[in-house]
Amino acid sequence: MTEKEKKQKLKALKDTVRNIPDFPIPGIQFKDVTPLFKTKESLRDLSDVLVEEYKNKGITKVVGIESRGFIMGPIVALELNAGFIPIRKEGKLPADVFEEAYEKEYGIDKIQIHKDSLSENDVVLLHDDLLATGGTMLAAVNLVRKAGVKKIYVNFIIELEDLKGRVLFPEEIEVVSLIKFGI
């Protein structure tokens, strides 16, 4: 894909994202990614752009964060000839897990990954739909680090740039957001 084709696809994808005012609470402008999955054309464009970004990075596992990371994560994993690993909320995985706690607006939350899902030879693409304040993804990075993987890449479909969540991530982790919005 040429740079021009990529820019065209990204513009069309950005135009497809739906803005929902005052959701889930007054004052929030919610960026709804679900229209991106509604047509085969937008789903294909999103998949193509994601795969193009990571096709030469040696990705062995795509790790998706519950729940919207479960939509594109497996699709991208298949296209990259990689496995897919879920990060779930506390209590949803049946085998031995690594766990990481993080702060949310209303308290502490925990995410988990199976201990046997990653190895020191893995190159991991961590994927989620939205970068806002960055707390959930930073917890996911810390969780994946517990497995001792070789390298971690971080990807979001959307980034809310004004919230500056990107600054949480260490320099050695490449963070890519396909679509960027101000607030």
Catalytic (active site) residue 105? yes
Query: For 32, which DSSP code?
Result: E
Domain ranges of the chain: 3-181
Candidates 52, 53, 68, 161; catalytic one: 68
The rounded percent of the chain whose pLDDT value lies above 90 is: 92
pLDDT averaged over the chain? Answer: 95
Confidence at residue 40, expressed as pLDDT on a 0 to 100 scale: 97
| CA dihedral angle for residue 166, residue 172, residue 174, residue 175, rounded to 10 degrees | -10
Confidence at residue 104, expressed as pLDDT on a 0 to 100 scale: 77
Which of 41-55, 104-118, 135-149, 159-173 has the lowest average pLDDT?
104-118
Query: For 71, which DSSP code?
Result: H
Please state the rounded mean pLDDT for residues 122-143.
Answer: 96
Report the CATH number of the 3-181 domain. 3.40.50.2020
10 Å Cβ neighbour count for 26?
7
User: Does 106 score more than 80 pLDDT?
Assistant: no
The β-bridge partners of 30 are 20
In 51-65, which positions are buried (b, 16+ CB within 10 angstroms) versus exposed (e)? bebbeeeebbbbbbb
Confirm if 110 and 100 have CB atoms less than 8 A apart: yes
Catalytic (active site) residue 172? no
Candidates 3, 105, 171, 172; catalytic one: 105
Confirm if 50 and 76 have CB atoms less than 8 A apart: yes
Please state the rounded mean pLDDT for residues 166-174.
Answer: 95
User: Does 107 score more than 90 pLDDT?
Assistant: no
Please state the rounded mean pLDDT for residues 33-55.
Answer: 97
User: Does 58 score more than 80 pLDDT?
Assistant: yes
10 Å Cβ neighbour count for 121?
10
User: Does 158 score more than 90 pLDDT?
Assistant: yes
pTM of the model: 0.95
Q: What are the angstrom distances between the C-alpha of 109 and each of 18, 44, 78, 127, 167?
A: 27, 33, 30, 19, 21
